[in-house]
Structure 1
Amino acid sequence: MNVLLIGSGGREHALAWKLAASPVLTKLYAAPGNPGMEGDAECVALDVSDHAAVVAFCREKAIDLVVVGPEAPLVAGLADALNEAGIRVFGPSAAAARLEGSKSFTKELCDRQAIPTAAYGRFENALAARDYVREQGAPIVIKADGLAAGKGVTVAMTEDEAIAAIDDCFDGSFGEAGASVVVEEFLEGEEASFFCLCDGRTALPFGTAQDHKRVGDGDTGPNTGGMGAYSPAPVLDDETLARTMAEIIEPTLKGMAEMGAPFTGVLYAGLMLTKDGPKLIEYNVRFGDPECQVLMMRLKEDLLLLINAAVDGQLGHVSARWRDEAALTVVLAAKGYPASPEKGTVIGGLDVASADEGVEIFHAGTALKEGALVANGGRVLNVTALGKSVKEAQEKAYRAVDLIDWPEGFCRRDIGWRAVEREG
């Protein structure tokens, strides 16, 4: 099979690494890809926002399947354009991608399907949102309604902080994403991530993870796109997963099909495990980043065969098996992230750092400049390791981190701390 992978981050590098291992694969292209992916895929300079250009490329290269990594092309309707051209694609339609593209859409679906989630209000002006915050009190959660690259959420511990977050949204800090705001009840509990592959009717459970959103050790500082993750999530036991499937995932698939927008692709449920059971925080319509990296390390199956089953409506006939080992990834970010990361600094030592068995380094924001590997984003590298326990995976990952020569980079030093504590 000839496959085109859309995207350029650490998630896509992990997907490319796993897809490249499939005996079914003939040729893998990545658009635009990144320097780390070049060992697994041919990177092509393709404007993925130009749907006609993507379709033309697929026809020219006889592409059998397109795998869309990030959310923005899905919300923009890339899967629709490919489907209309008769090109098989793994990823939801624009109508189904509203599960991530509009937080208020998902909240309304939860209302209709009686899916457990936080109480909320949706507002199109700051005054009404501020009044709601004053009525409800703090702590409270402020979310830009649209896509904001993981940065449009504020968990406000005071009313003043909540009002400042509302003003940021309506003042244009998140562009169109902040044109309306969802204000949510603050849920108490532990967060975890649950993934399913979906074919429009069937959801195949596809692993669990926990990530670390805040930039600093001890879960301090501003929210980011994710500073590290580990899998599996020990807090998601069999009983909790069964409730999540019955109370959250299955009603979602049913509701989407009933409105004429069946969901095909990856459904990523961000969960809060409350005293009353799992509640939905939000949906994403693609693999998490950096959760994808730890899932790909643990997956025993041929990813390409599973994706084909999802696209062809055959998920009921396949299963996903996982390694017993834990996987953990540490994000190396450029100094200044998440506000103003420094770009162009030189990175060395990756060959030495990745030499240990069970260690993979996925590129998230790199470029080549005059033959040198340089930082080209906020989150730059994902140093990922397998271990018999989360603690062992953590130790291997940080050993590798310490072998990388990049003084301008930084990372959290406590990724996986909850799971390590549980292991004793």
Structure 2
Amino acid sequence: MKVLVIGGGGREHAIVRALRRSPQAPQVFCSPGNAGIARDADPLEGADDPAAIKAAGIELVVIGPEAPLVAGFADACTDAGLLVFGPSKAAARLEGSKAHAKGVMAAAGVPTAGHAVVSGVAEGLAAIDRYPAVIKADGLAAGKGVVIAQDDAEARAALSEMLEDKRFGDVPVVIEEFLEGEELSLLALCDGESALPLAPARDYKRIGEGDTGPNTGGMGAYSPVEGAGAALIEQVRQTILQPVVEELGRQGTPFHGVLYAGLMLTAQGPKVLEFNVRFGDPETQAVLPRLRSDLLDLMLRTTRPGGLEGATLSWDDRAAVTVVLASRGYPQSSSSGDVIKFGGVPRGIEVTHAGTAERDGAIVTAGGRVLNVTALGDDVRTARAAAYAAADVIDFDGKTLRRDIAA
């Protein structure tokens, strides 16, 4: 089978690697890919045209990033007669609009933070009754459209940037109550009728150690998570994942693909912080290396209603820790063209590429998040030590990383 993975980041590299482990031995293509993905998948030209994809003999299209999903690329591929792993444009609004997601959760009875949708700075300040308060741009923001304001001054600055400067486009802002507890990421495969949770993970969104500084797309992750056992996962499935899948079905927008629930484990139970409609990044880099089931088979099952019925998942008992190496200036900016020296990365370490390119035979930086270093170990502590040991033998000018992932 010929499979095309759309995207060019660390998440897509992890997906490509997992697909290549399938016993079905698919031929894996990528677009646009990056310097690392190009070593594990064949590049495909014209991959923005579903007809060209079909003509190339591709049977399954796996859409990695959120932007093409929200733009409706899955629908165009389906119309061209291709199987697609990823939701329709209508279903992808769950990530494309935070206000819409809140409406779906309300209709499904899913626990989440209280909120208000505002379109002006004064209206936004009036909607905040206590600090800290969470301020989110309604549209896509690559993980950077969230500010946790500690006072009026921070709130006013965030609202002005989002609503007046329109940093994330001409969209409203969602004001949310600040939830306290431990965060958890849970991804679930969905076939339009049911949700099948994957192994839980925890990611680190802030740029600085101790969760300081601005939000990023993610600086690291680990899986499994202590305290997030089978009982909690089933609770989340029953009270959050399955109700949302069923509500989207009732609305005539059945969800096929992977549903990401960003959760806060509060004293009142799990509550939703956000939904994504694709694999999380960098959670995917920590979760998929532990998956021993056939990812290709699972993806194909999601394309047909009820296809996941009877499906079971097999996992490596070891823990995985992923450390992100970013370029200088991230997340406000990024540097490109810096030569990456990989040193002697030990065997068994999975280095997935996020923002890289090849220039004159060398691998160079080409984005904010550059590489993901993932190690497996008998426990999180062992995996963490191995991941950082490998990260330390990789070098490039301006290399930035957090030292407290999975600490």
For Structure 1 versus Structure 2, the TM-score category normalised by the shorter chain is over 0.9
Q: Considering only aligned residues, what root-mean-square deviation do their CA atoms show, in Å?
A: 1.2
Q: Is the 8 A contact 1:3 1:25 kept in 2?
A: no
Alignment of 1:318 onto 2:331: no
Superposed CA deviations along residues 239-272 of structure 1, whole A, max 9, x for unmatched, are 3222211111111011100000000000000000
Superposed CA deviations along residues 179-212 of structure 1, whole A, max 9, x for unmatched, are 2000000011111101100000011111110001
Alignment of 1:412 onto 2:405: no
SS in 1 for 2:228: coil
Alignment of 1:94 onto 2:84: no
Selected match of 2:151 from 145, 152, 158: 158
Partner residue, 1:394: 384
Alignment of 1:363 onto 2:353: yes
Q: Is the 8 A contact 1:139 1:159 kept in 2?
A: no
Selected match of 2:125 from 109, 114, 130: 130
Partner residue, 2:33: 33
Partner residue, 2:289: 297
What amino acid maps onto 1:170 in structure 2? L
Q: Is the 8 A contact 2:87 2:257 kept in 1?
A: yes
The structure in which a higher percent of residues are helix is 1
5 Å matches for 1:164-179? 164-176=157-169, 179=171
Q: Is the 8 A contact 2:14 2:352 kept in 1?
A: yes
Partner residue, 2:247: 255
Partner residue, 2:235: 243
Selected match of 2:116 from 93, 115, 121: 121
Partner residue, 2:210: 218
In 1, Cα distance between the equivalents of 2:219 and 2:10? 12
Q: Is the 8 A contact 2:219 2:323 kept in 1?
A: yes
In 2, Cα distance between the equivalents of 1:296 and 1:137? 39
In 2, Cα distance between the equivalents of 1:300 and 1:239? 21
Task: After TM superposition, give the deviation of residue 302 of structure 1 in Å.
Answer: 1.2
- Single out whichever of 314-323 and 11-20 deviates more from structure 2: 314-323
Alignment of 1:278 onto 2:273: no
SS in 2 for 1:92: coil
In 1, Cα distance between the equivalents of 2:164 and 2:360? 40
Selected match of 2:298 from 290, 302, 306: 306
* TM norm structure 2: 0.97
In 1, Cα distance between the equivalents of 2:184 and 2:260? 10
Q: Is the 8 A contact 2:145 2:168 kept in 1?
A: no
Superposed CA deviations along residues 371-397 of structure 1, whole A, max 9, x for unmatched, are 111100000000110000101000001
Partner residue, 1:422: none
Superposed CA deviations along residues 6-54 of structure 1, whole A, max 9, x for unmatched, are 0000000000011112232342110001111122211234463xxxx2x
Task: After TM superposition, give the deviation of residue 173 of structure 1 in Å.
Answer: 4.6
- Single out whichever of 163-172 and 71-80 deviates more from structure 2: 163-172
% of aligned pairs identical? 49
Gapped runs of 5+ residues in structure 1?
418-424
What amino acid maps onto 2:41 in structure 1? A
In 2, Cα distance between the equivalents of 1:364 and 1:263? 27
Q: Is the 8 A contact 2:134 2:148 kept in 1?
A: yes
Q: Is the 8 A contact 1:2 1:25 kept in 2?
A: no
In 2, Cα distance between the equivalents of 1:227 and 1:382? 9
Gapped runs of 5+ residues in structure 2?
none
Q: Is the 8 A contact 2:139 2:168 kept in 1?
A: no
Partner residue, 1:16: 16
In 1, Cα distance between the equivalents of 2:329 and 2:92? 31
In 2, Cα distance between the equivalents of 1:156 and 1:47? 41
In 2, Cα distance between the equivalents of 1:132 and 1:247? 28
